[in-house]
A and B are shown apart, each in its own frame.
Chain A
Amino acid sequence: MKYCILLFLMILNVHSLLAQIEIHGKILDKKGRPIVSANITIVDSYDGGITDHNGLFRFSTTENGAHILVIVASRFDSLFVPINITNQAIQIDTSLKVTKLEEDGVVVSSRGFILGGGKRNSVMNAQDIYTTGGANGDISSALRTLPGTQQLGEREGLAVRGGDVYETKQFIDGTLVSHPYFSGATNIPTRTRYPPNLFKDIAFSTGGYSALYGQALSSALILETIDIPEKSESNVSVTPLFWGGGLQKVAKDKKSSFGFDYSYTNVGLYFKVIKQTPDYFKMPQFHSSDWNYRIKTKGGGLIKYYGTFDYNQMGLRRQSVDSAIWKNAFDLKGSNWYHNVSWRQPFNHQWKMTLSAGFSLNKNNIWQQLQDSSNKEVAIPNIYLDTLQFNLKNKDLFAQTKLVLEKKWRHNNALRFGAEYWYNDYSLNYNIKQYQLKDNYIAAFAETDYYILPKLALEAGLRFENSSLMRTHELAPRAALAYKFSSSNQINFAYGMFYQKPENTYLIYNSKLKMTQANHYIFTYLYTGKGTMLRLETYYKQYENLVKIYPNYTNNGNGFAKGIDVYWRDNNHTIKTLDYWITYSYVDTKRNYLNFPFSMQPNFVANHTANLVTKKFIAPINTGVSATYSFASGRPYYNLHLNAVGDANYSLLDQGKTKQYQTLNMSVYHLMKIGKGFGVLYASMNNVLNRNNVFGYNYSVNGLNRQPILPTAKRFYFIALFISWGVDRSQDTINNNL
């Protein structure tokens, strides 16, 4: 019976009718707005409550005496309030301070468009590149649907904000990629060597980029390769243009992975069906291979290696502009090696190190000649035509290493600093002439992220650059200030000085040239809504020390560019299941460089460009469609003519503007299961409206004749089947028990 009493006492103890004291109050932010879902708890007790939509809470407690009350709400600093519970109700009205955190603090977005692979807050990702109509999986083509870029149909690369294509540089895992595009013939664009799915982060800066990068006057495309993939996978691609396959193997413990891919492209079959303007006597062919190895190190670090080798060749004849009975024949063999190793390692006290190294070797073997109607070489009748007949061999060896150290503090304040070294050995054989260049380039840089206020951030950096060849050293300051004046509105101001070595093709004639220079001033307004984004930018860019090639190779060139860029993205927000973006760019630019007789708008710049990209995924039939419409106002063209050899200047004999450029590109993809694999059937058509787009004019050497620059075929069609077989290890354990 005693035990029964004990039990009874126990129950009584639990449900004892102790005095219930009510604690209530209101939790606000510093601006007096209610904080919803804040948790209020008496430390080490079960008692507490949660705030409602008005920031009000109310709960009862059986505790008494001195206690501590803690108020926790996400995005706010926790608050501890000492209380003394007696027999009276307690009222607690207080306010919480916003935590200095990345998510709700300001982010300096002078870096431009962040394209991430499924990461939070990303603007565009690898999948976007694959599904953008007209891009056909080419990174640069997809980026041309962003503002600030030019629609170029006759050359590869990104011409950004009045800048020439060589003013945009690409970086993979911190190191410069010296030849990101396949070699090709004049006026026929080629593709990027690197596939989008290689990258987890793609950041495209259209100006004002970080001091960690250099040697690009206009723009930096910063690519970060993926870490160890989630699962092993093998894949094949079958198309009329190319076939390929690859394997990616992840170790059982997921601590390392390796993979390789190979593909062979031969456009012969395609060109038989779709007639091309040039006469290809050697069908364009490409062998591409890449391989990778990634391994986790102790303490959360990662070492990644990525290597590629490719070889391509082509030969074609086009109608000569100099004579109706002549043809220009062009033959190319090119090869490219690229290796990249990077080691990322975090250390104690929020230190992080990134050590990277890159090596590339690019070789091209080109000849060009004038041929007659029976494809026989013609004897050059006059000295001016000499430039149309040549043998060219070049070899470009580029090696580099870079070290970046980063230290972070509370509230996301950070300091990054480091150095890099580039070695370049460039040689050129042009007919019987030989040229060689060797350069040792050293840069040191430091940059800090400093949060002056939670909503006001400064990113300031300095970069020192030195080239042994030019015997010059430059100091480039960069700064960006960002202010987030409400949760969805932000303004940025960015300033920076940027230096770039003249292209090797000019340096071989005068190695005493100085670095070319650009100063950027950028003002940005950014709105981020729910699934929507508006980005307005206006900029002024000043060019100094641009290369002039006439009458001598000097740095007497200069120029400017100013304009407005608009980007609006609406991802499934306004119209369900429709993702679209609209861009508009206006640029006003003039420069005096190369052989320009005076300051002119370069022929790669259209004043107005616009894009409308739409994407829709129709879930019931597992099919996605995308349409991209691009517009560009007419681009200028010039006939710059040298009257006589040794003449001091080029004169402008003829000029004009091409008609507007318009194109509508469509693509469709269907997802399906093929056996045990996952398949994507992809088809696309570029220039659906079959417009005649003209990219400019080529003039004859005597200046009397001209020829429009046209695409090799009006339309481009593409159809492909991609299949992948994933080996998902996580499945095994479950299936074993079924």
Chain B
Amino acid sequence: MKKLIFTICLCAIAYFGHSQSSKYLPAMEANLKIMDTAKAASTYLDLSGKFERIANAEKTQWLPFYYAALSLDLYGFQAPESKKDEIGDKALALIDQAQKLNDNSELYAPKYMAYIIQMLVDPMNRYQSYGMLANDALSQGMKLDSLNPRLFYLKGSGLLQTPTFAGGGKDAAKPYLEKSIELFDKEKPAKMYPNWGKTQALETLEKCK
């Protein structure tokens, strides 16, 4: 019984501790559930809107901003080229708002992705500028948490798609992906905190063989 009471208290603290509204947790969880199984571009766009609404209503939570940016990025990869710049800008603006609340390593993953989306509009010419900004985002994220598996995964996946003459290729990508999986296995994310990436890292590593 004491144990039960303790658990309930803990739940209550978790519930009210962040001065968040009572609908926050279920709304987030519902959206994250959709995100886990989402495939269609339109679902990601829809999700981004949902997360953004939560973020704007809550005002003090960085996670909804993070997920709003992340789902927008995931939409951006599938969006037509004419829209990629606009989407990237929007995602960066969302990350900016999250950083004001809590500047942490996780935010640099969607930041990296936003720059990559903008680079993809014209990779030949934008590699120098946008590619550099993307890489900068990764290294800034690393400075905040040098053991973030998602950043290692993104680095490896980026290298795999870089031509060998520019320092990319399978051999270059492999150590980053292996390291990311090692880190994924050790990772114990808090509730609702980012935990994605392991499946993608394993798939990408498979391509390196």
Binding site for B on A (CB under 8 A): 3-4, 6-7, 10, 13-15, 37, 39, 41, 43-50, 74, 117-118, 120, 122, 125, 127, 230-231, 530, 617, 619, 622, 671-673, 678-679, 728-734, 736-738
Q: Is the CB of A50 within 8 A of B126?
A: no
Q: Which of B90, B138, B151 contacts A74 (CB 8 A)?
A: B90
Task: Give the distance to chain A from B35, nearest Cβ to Cβ, in Å.
Answer: 15
Q: Which of B15, B52, B128, B167 contacts A230 (CB 8 A)?
A: B128
22 A-B pairs in the complex with CB atoms less than 8 angstroms apart: A3-B5, A3-B9, A4-B8, A7-B12, A14-B22, A15-B26, A37-B45, A45-B53, A46-B27, A46-B53, A50-B45, A118-B128, A127-B125, A230-B128, A230-B132, A678-B165, A730-B138, A731-B139, A734-B151, A734-B176, A736-B146, A737-B147
Q: Is the CB of B11 within 8 A of A7?
A: yes
| Interface pairs A-B: 7 shortest CB-CB | A118-B125, A730-B139, A230-B132, A733-B139, A730-B135, A3-B8, A737-B146
Task: Give the distance to chain B from A27, nearest Cβ to Cβ, in Å.
Answer: 14
| Cβ contacts under 8 Å, A13 to chain B | 22
Q: Is the CB of B49 within 8 A of A673?
A: no
Query: How far is A39 from B53 in the complex, measured between Cα atoms in Å?
Result: 9
Contact A39 B49, CB 8 Å, known A45-B57, A46-B27, A730-B138:
yes
| Cβ contacts under 8 Å, B23 to chain A | 14, 46
Q: Is the CB of B124 within 8 A of A617?
A: yes
Q: Which of A15, A46, A74, A622 contacts B50 (CB 8 A)?
A: A46
Q: Which of A118, A728, A737 contacts B129 (CB 8 A)?
A: A118
Query: How far is A725 from B125 in the complex, measured between Cα atoms in Å?
Result: 19
Query: How far is A622 from B164 in the complex, measured between Cα atoms in Å?
Result: 9
Query: How far is A671 from B167 in the complex, measured between Cα atoms in Å?
Result: 11
Interface of B is mostly: helix
Whether B207 sits at the interface, judged by CB under 8 Å, is no
Query: How far is A46 from B30 in the complex, measured between Cα atoms in Å?
Result: 12
| Cβ contacts under 8 Å, A118 to chain B | 122, 125-130
The contact string, 1 if C-beta is below 8 Å from chain A, for chain B 1-17, is: 00011001101100100
How many residues on chain B are close to A (CB under 8 Å)? 54
Task: Give the distance to chain B from A230, nearest Cβ to Cβ, in Å.
Answer: 4
Q: Which of B5, B9, B52 contacts A39 (CB 8 A)?
A: B52
Output the nearest chain B residue to A726 by Cβ-Cβ distance. Answer: B167
Q: Is the CB of A622 within 8 A of B163?
A: yes
Whether B40 sits at the interface, judged by CB under 8 Å, is no
Q: Is the CB of B27 within 8 A of A679?
A: no
Q: Is the CB of B53 within 8 A of A47?
A: yes
| Cβ contacts under 8 Å, B176 to chain A | 734, 738
Task: Give the distance to chain A from B31, nearest Cβ to Cβ, in Å.
Answer: 9
| Cβ contacts under 8 Å, A673 to chain B | 164-167
Which chain B residues numbered 71 to 126 have a C-beta less than 8 Å away from chain A? 81-82, 85-86, 90, 122, 124-126
Interface centre among A7, A622, A732, A734 (most CB of B within 10 A): A734
Task: Give the distance to chain A from B10, nearest Cβ to Cβ, in Å.
Answer: 11
Q: Is the CB of A127 within 8 A of B124?
A: yes
Task: Give the distance to chain A from B4, nearest Cβ to Cβ, in Å.
Answer: 8
Q: Is the CB of B86 within 8 A of A231?
A: no
Interface centre among B12, B46, B142, B165 (most CB of A within 10 A): B165
| Cβ contacts under 8 Å, B167 to chain A | 673, 678
Query: How far is A603 from B25 in the complex, measured between Cα atoms in Å?
Result: 80
Output the nearest chain B residue to A7 by Cβ-Cβ distance. Answer: B8
| Cβ contacts under 8 Å, A41 to chain B | 49, 53, 56
Which chain B residues numbered 35 to 63 have a C-beta less than 8 Å away from chain A? 45-46, 49-50, 52-54, 56-57
Task: Give the distance to chain A from B65, nearest Cβ to Cβ, in Å.
Answer: 14
| Cβ contacts under 8 Å, B179 to chain A | 737-738
Task: Give the distance to chain A from B73, nearest Cβ to Cβ, in Å.
Answer: 16
Task: Give the distance to chain A from B118, nearest Cβ to Cβ, in Å.
Answer: 9
Q: Which of B46, B57, B128, B166 contacts A46 (CB 8 A)?
A: B57
Query: How far is A47 from B21 in the complex, measured between Cα atoms in Å?
Result: 14
Whether B187 sits at the interface, judged by CB under 8 Å, is no
Contact A737 B12, CB 8 Å, known A74-B90, A230-B128, A673-B164:
no
Query: How far is A146 from B102 in the complex, measured between Cα atoms in Å?
Result: 51
Output the nearest chain B residue to A15 by Cβ-Cβ distance. Answer: B26
Whether B170 sits at the interface, judged by CB under 8 Å, is no
Output the nearest chain B residue to A120 by Cβ-Cβ distance. Answer: B85
Contact A672 B165, CB 8 Å, known A10-B15, A46-B53, A118-B122:
yes
Task: Give the distance to chain B from A486, nearest Cβ to Cβ, in Å.
Answer: 15
Q: Which of A10, A231, A736 contacts B22 (CB 8 A)?
A: A10
Interface centre among B15, B81, B122, B152 (most CB of A within 10 A): B122
Task: Give the distance to chain A from B90, nearest Cβ to Cβ, in Å.
Answer: 7
| Cβ contacts under 8 Å, B22 to chain A | 10, 13-14
Q: Is the CB of A117 within 8 A of B57?
A: no
Output the nearest chain B residue to A49 by Cβ-Cβ distance. Answer: B49
Whether B203 sits at the interface, judged by CB under 8 Å, is no
Task: Give the distance to chain A from B63, nearest Cβ to Cβ, in Å.
Answer: 14
Query: How far is A731 from B4 in the complex, measured between Cα atoms in Å?
Result: 50
| Cβ contacts under 8 Å, B56 to chain A | 41, 43-44
Beyond A3-B4, A46-B54, A737-B142: 17 further Cβ-contacts under 8 Å?
A: A3-B9, A10-B22, A41-B53, A44-B56, A45-B57, A47-B53, A48-B50, A74-B90, A117-B129, A118-B126, A118-B127, A730-B135, A731-B139, A732-B139, A734-B152, A734-B155, A734-B176
